[in-house]
Amino acid sequence: MAKIKLIILAVMSTVLSNCSSGNDKFPLDKRYWDPMDYANVTRELTYGYELDEKLPTFSNPETRAIVEKYTDHQNFNVVLEDDQLGLKHRNGVAQDFFARWKDMVNVYRATDRQDNYIYDEEFMKVELFGLDLQLKYFKLGNDAIIEGADDPNSTRIVNAVNSNVNTLIANYNLFLDEINDENSFSDKGKALLAEGIDVYFSKLIEANPSANYSKMERKIDLMYKKSNSEKIKNSLTKIKALIESKKVQE
């Protein structure tokens, strides 16, 4: 009996140790992840798995919670959208999240021997995370520039703000480059790509209606000709129409 008790205690100790280890790597008990959590989780996803070992996915019930937490926009929105917090503080947090996201984009980018994305749903969810984050990141940055300026209407400040908006638009154009690899996506991946265009490109244009979208329009035309997905082509058509509608209003 004593031996049985020892064996049971040993097993329980192993289980508790594994749970503790899992919580350290993926702190799912935390309500929101901060940039440091993202740095640690991204490091684990990048270096903590063998080449033949499956990363956390939405389709795996045992690991779904990890990738859901990893791509949850509330982790940054809870701070960046809180007007009770200082602008400098929120801007600093936004910068930290943006730096972490630039590492995140490579985690799920792997392809198989047929050049298909192995984790296209997870990859696109990370991309949408970045599209949403950048809207807040660049807005807070420009707000900080304007707040700290002696004359917010000076040529120097106006040019700095416009330059940041142009960088944001250029970053969004990079997202459209994914259409070049459209055949590497599953139908679900293509649907998420179209969703990103529908949701976040619309927000970009509504927030910056007077910006110069000429390069984006050219990109849309090229990607429309290249795409074979009706969902993606419909999304591109709607975004171009939105851009045109803003020109009429000016």
The whole domain housing 221 covers 29-249
Does residue 92 sit within a domain?
yes
pTM of this prediction? 0.89
The answer, yes or no, to whether residue 76 has pLDDT greater than 90, is yes
**What span, in angstroms and rounded, lies between the C-alpha atoms of 135 and 224?**
24
At residue 111, φ and ψ (nearest 5 deg) are -125, 160
Identify the pLDDT of residue 24: 73
Whether 57 and 124 have beta carbons less than 8 Å apart is answered as no
pLDDT tens-place string over residues 171-204: 999 999 999 999 999 999 999 999 999 999 999 9
Q: Average pLDDT for residues 65-88, to the nearest whole number?
A: 98
Identify the pLDDT of residue 226: 97
Residues sharing a CB contact under 8 Å with residue 163, sequence separation 6 or more, in sequence order = none
Does residue 185 sit within a domain?
yes
Which residue, chain included where needed, has tokens 């939105």? 242
The answer, yes or no, to whether residue 15 has pLDDT greater than 50, is no
Whether 189 and 121 have beta carbons less than 8 Å apart is answered as yes
pLDDT tens-place string over residues 159-175: 999 999 999 999 999 99
Distances (CA, A) of 169 to 134, 205, 245: 10, 9, 17
Number of structural domains (the chain) is 1
Does residue 17 sit within a domain?
no
Q: Is 179 helix (H, G, I), strand (E, B) or coil?
A: helix
The answer, yes or no, to whether residue 23 has pLDDT greater than 80, is no
Does residue 2 sit within a domain?
no
Does residue 7 sit within a domain?
no
